[in-house]
Amino acid sequence: MKRFKNILFVADAELQGGDAFERAVMLAENNQAQLTVVSILEEFPTRSSEEVHGMSLSDLHDAIIEKQQFQLETMVASIEKNIIINARVLTGVAFLALIREVLRQKIDLLIKTVDEEGIMDKLFASSDMHLLRKCPCPVWLIKSSRQGP
């Protein structure tokens, strides 16, 4: 029985594939599911009159989105796959943007690496805890295993 047909994978901040991405691809292949890989960018303040290095904040925001989109597509293209993999950059508060995407795309499973938290985040609610409580589909949190130097 093939349960998952539409899987959402949340790329970590470095946009590196890693074990979690490989697991998501393997699960999608085993279920013959569609995989969507996303990264999340917090929204900039809406003051459009401010400029940074001669660019308005909205232009800078668009440039960052384009760069992250390119990095996601490069990450997706780096693996051999037998499934459909889409790449998107979401903006806004992380858990809200993910829940909106789950509802919009009718996602069956959300896969995400665990946020690295400091002591203050452990005392208060984290984005992962919000997802576990409020996401309308199952959430699989994977502890990232960093390899390399």
Please state, in angstroms and rounded to a whole number, the distance separating the CA atoms of residues 90 and 107: 15
Please state, in angstroms and rounded to a whole number, the distance separating the CA atoms of residues 2 and 138: 15
Residue 147 above 70 pLDDT? no
For residues 18-24, give the mean pLDDT. 88
pTM over 0.75: yes
Q: For residue 80, what are the contacts with CB-CB under 8 A and spacing of at least 6?
A: none
Comparing CA positions, the residue from 54, 53, 7 lying closest to residue 28 is: 7
Q: Where is pLDDT greater, at 32 or 78?
A: 32
Q: Which CATH superfamily is domain 6-142 in?
A: HUPs (3.40.50.620)
Q: Where are the domains of the chain?
A: 6-142
pLDDT at 18: 81
Comparing CA positions, the residue from 41, 32, 12 lying closest to residue 85 is: 32
Residue 42 above 50 pLDDT? yes
pLDDT tens-digit map of 48-80: 556 666 677 778 888 888 999 999 998 888 887
55 three-state secondary structure:
strand
pLDDT at 2: 62
6 burial (CB, 10 Å; 0-12 / 13-18 / 19+) is middle
137 three-state secondary structure:
coil
